[in-house]
Structures are given as C-alpha cells and as structure tokens.
Amino acid sequence: MEKTATPTFKHIGSKLLNWYQKNARDLPFRQTKDPYKIWICEIVFQQTRINQGLNHYNNFIKRFPDVKTLAEAEENEVLLYWKGLGYYSRAINIHRAAQQIMNDYHGTFPHEYEEILKLKGVGKYTAAAVSSICFDGKIPAVDGNFYRVLSRIFADDFDISNSRAFNYFSELAHLILPDNVGDFNQAMMDLGSEICKPKNPLCGECPLHEDCLAFSLNKISEFPVKTKKVKAEDLSLKYYFVHRNGKFLIQQRKDDFIWKKLFEFPPVISDELISFIKSVKTVNHKLTHKNLSIEIFNVEVDSEDIWKDFIAENNFIVTDVEGSHERSFPKPLENYIQNYDTAYRIL
Ligand code: SF4
C-alpha cells in the first residue's frame, strides 16, 4: 500500500528567510548579538512602536551600556530613563533582572532558554528571542505577529483569545521553522509589522503569498479569529495638586496597583486645606484594561503654617517644575505639571 507523505511546509520558512536577507530593517540592535542589548530592545519594543521607542532605547543603552551598570544604578534613575515608554513595571523588572544576573550568574547573561526564562519579567517570547538571536536557540518567539501570519497562511480559525493559543501557534510555527531560528524570529517580526499588518496587509509584496491559504481563498479579513474581548474597567481617581510659591508636593507610589514606584500628587488632603481648593480639572486616561477618570484639584495654600504642618504630618517631598524632571510621573500628572505656569498658577 502506498504510504501518504506528511506534508512539509519548511519551504515557507526558507522563503521568509530569503526575503529577510534582502529586506531586513536596518535597526541599531540588528548590528549586535549582545544578549543584554537584545533583551533590553525586546522589552522596550514589546508595547512600543519601533519609531517611537528608538530614541528611548538608544538613550537607555548609552546610560546603562551593560548589565553591571544597570544593576548598580538607583531604581529611580532607571525609571527616569524609562520616561515616555510607559508600563513602568517593565523598567522595575529589568533592573531586578540585571541584579539577578549579577548575583546568580556572576554577571554573565544566561545562554539557555530555560535559564533566561527565570529572569524577572522575562516571558516565553523574550526568552525565545534572546536565546535564538544570541545563542542559536531553536524556539520560535511566538507573539501576535505569529498568530496573525500563521493563522492567515494556514487559514486556521483557532481562536487567538483561547488560553491554549500560545502552545497551538508554537506547534504551527515548528512546521515552517528553518535552521536559522534567530533570523526567522526577526523575519516574522518584520513581516508582521511591515507586510502582513493587522489591517490592509500588503499581500502583493508578501514573499509568502503563493503559500497563503487565506490569500488564495480571498478570506484574509477572517483571520486571525478572536472571540473574547477584554472589557476595560472604569476607575475614578482623585489627586490634590498642593502648591505654594512655585513648589508642590509629591510622594512615591508604594502599592502594587497601577503606576507602582512612580511619583504622584497627594491623593488626600487635611480638612484645613479644603478651603484652599481653587479649581478642579478632570482628565480621562486609558490604560490597557482600565479607563481612568482623574480629578485633579488645584490647592493653592496661602498659609505658611498650614503648608508646613501638612508636609510634616505626611512626609511629602517638596519639589518644583524643574525638580519634577528628575522623577517619573504617570502621564496625566506629568501633563498637569507642564501646565503649571511660571507665575505658579494653573493655566
Ligand atoms: S499573503 Fe497577505 S495575508 Fe498572506 S501572509 Fe502574506 S501579507 Fe499576510
């Protein structure tokens, strides 16, 4: 009896690699195999577009060029260099992970996927990317780009919001995986962001269009399939911008809720200060799963005694606009400070 051959799709991975060799984007982190730099770049660009994050990445690497420098830095300085990138927990985690590398790996970046995965804040995607790009690891760095490209190539309706999607698409990726997994992972990143985009993919320029089932069936808009939408939670916050003669009060957030370790205005004030409230501004701000409505009260304190008592009782930090540039604030509060004019009034 004639035996049916298992279908092979390795030629898809080879085509992608050929395309990448001619079309790879010229990005600064493509010139290096230094795992420290690749790791930082993977974390920086997780939630940030390349164009928006490039200056931040370059500044960060300039100030913290290696694991040791980063591990020895003050956490607040690391947060300051993360300013503008958002998701500050990433900065806190990379700082801790750098200390982990110094303490547990004698300052040498771990080579194995499983070891890289043990670093604080490093998930399967980042571990696969670093191990494949820097140490010839063989694990696909599966992310949203993989979900989109693979579901279209195979016209596969597996729901990407399913908790098993990561494992499912990892297995699918293995069907087309070439030997050079490092370049393949980077090629998928470029293809997903430049060609096989979420909306209006450029199929005419795609190196895989002859192999793409969704393209040949004219069903691209049907893939990937995603059923579950995470509903954003509405949240109200209050802050008091307590100021006097150009100085204002701040504190550092300690809880594990949003904006951990960033600086903020006092969230409550004493009864004596209520009479100094001059105005209130409501700011709406979106986080990944939260819609924030933030009321910021402008409290201009006319009494030196009440000002001093309030500071002493609550251990607030007194700063001014210039001093605030040395610290990281949540974006809505940073915007508010920028509007605090030179005559010490709120615009
Ligand atoms: S042909 Fe179109 S849909 Fe298919 S992989 Fe290429 S860009 Fe994506």
The residues, any chain, with a CB within 8 Å of residue 297's CB and separated by 6 or more, are 238, 239, 240, 241, 269, 277, 279, 280
Q: Residue 347: pLDDT above 50?
A: no
16 lines ligand 1 (CB under 6 A): no
pLDDT of residue 84: 85
Q: Ligand 1 mean position to 52 CA, how many Å? A: 25
- Mutation choice for ligand 1 from 203, 205, 216, CB with most ligand atoms inside 8 A: 203
- Say if ligand 1 is within 6 A of residue 98 CB: no
Instruction: Give the residue-averaged pLDDT of 137-159.
Output: 96
User: What is the pairing mode between strands 317-319 and 247-252?
Assistant: antiparallel
Torsions phi, psi for 269 (to 5 deg)? -135, 165
Using most ligand atoms within 8 A of CB, pick from 200, 208, 211 the residue to mutate for ligand 1.
208
pLDDT tens for residues 303-317?
A: 999 999 999 998 899
Asked if the model's pLDDT at residue 256 lies above 80, the reply is no
Q: What is the pLDDT of residue 1?
A: 43
Q: Tell me if 116 CB under 6 Å of ligand 1.
A: no
The partner residues of 250 in beta bridges, in order of sequence, read 317
- Using the atom order of ligand 1, give the atom closest to the CA of residue 205: 7
All structural domains of the chain with their residue ranges:
10-222, 233-338
Please say if the pLDDT value at position 118 is more than 80. Answer: yes
Q: Quick one: pLDDT at residue 64?
A: 98
By most ligand atoms within 8 Å of CB, the mutation choice from 172, 200, 206 for ligand 1 is: 206
Q: Report CA(12)–ligand 1 centroid distance (Å).
A: 12
Determine the Cα–Cα distance for residues 166 and 338; give it in Å rounded to an integer: 42
Q: How many CA atoms lie within 13 A of 81 on its CB side?
A: 22
CATH architecture of 233-338: Alpha-Beta Complex (3.90)
Q: Are 107 and 67 in contact (CB under 8 A)?
A: yes
Asked whether residue 7 carries a pLDDT value surpassing 90, the answer given is: no
279: pLDDT strictly greater than 50: yes
Q: What is the mean pLDDT of residues 255-281?
A: 90
**Rounded mean pLDDT, 203-219:** 97
The residue whose CA has the least distance to atom 8 of ligand 1 is 196
Report, as an integer, the average pLDDT of 36-45. 95
User: Is 75 a residue of the active site?
Assistant: no
**pLDDT value at 346 more than 70:** no
Name the β-bridge partners of 286: 291
* Per-residue pLDDT tens digits for 215-238: 999 999 999 999 977 788 999 999
* CA of residue 157 to ligand 1 center, whole Å: 15
Burial class of 269 by CB neighbour count within 10 A (0 to 12, 13 to 18, 19+): buried
Residue nearest to atom 1 of ligand 1 (CA): 209
Residue bearing the bigger pLDDT, 4 or 90: 90
Q: 251 in helix, strand or coil?
A: strand
Residue 80 is predicted with a pLDDT of 94
State the Cα–Cα distance between residues 305 and 294, nearest whole angstrom.
29
**pLDDT at residue 3 in the model:** 46
Q: Which of 318, 316, 321 is nearest to 343 (CA)?
A: 321
CA 136 – CA 179 distance, rounded (Å): 9
How many whole angstroms from 147 Cα to the centroid of ligand 1? 12
Tell me yes or no: is domain 10-222 CATH 1.20.950.20.
no
List the single range of 84-88, 102-106, 281-285 with lowest mean pLDDT.
Answer: 84-88
Residue 35 reports pLDDT greater than 60: yes
Q: What does pLDDT average to over the chain?
A: 92
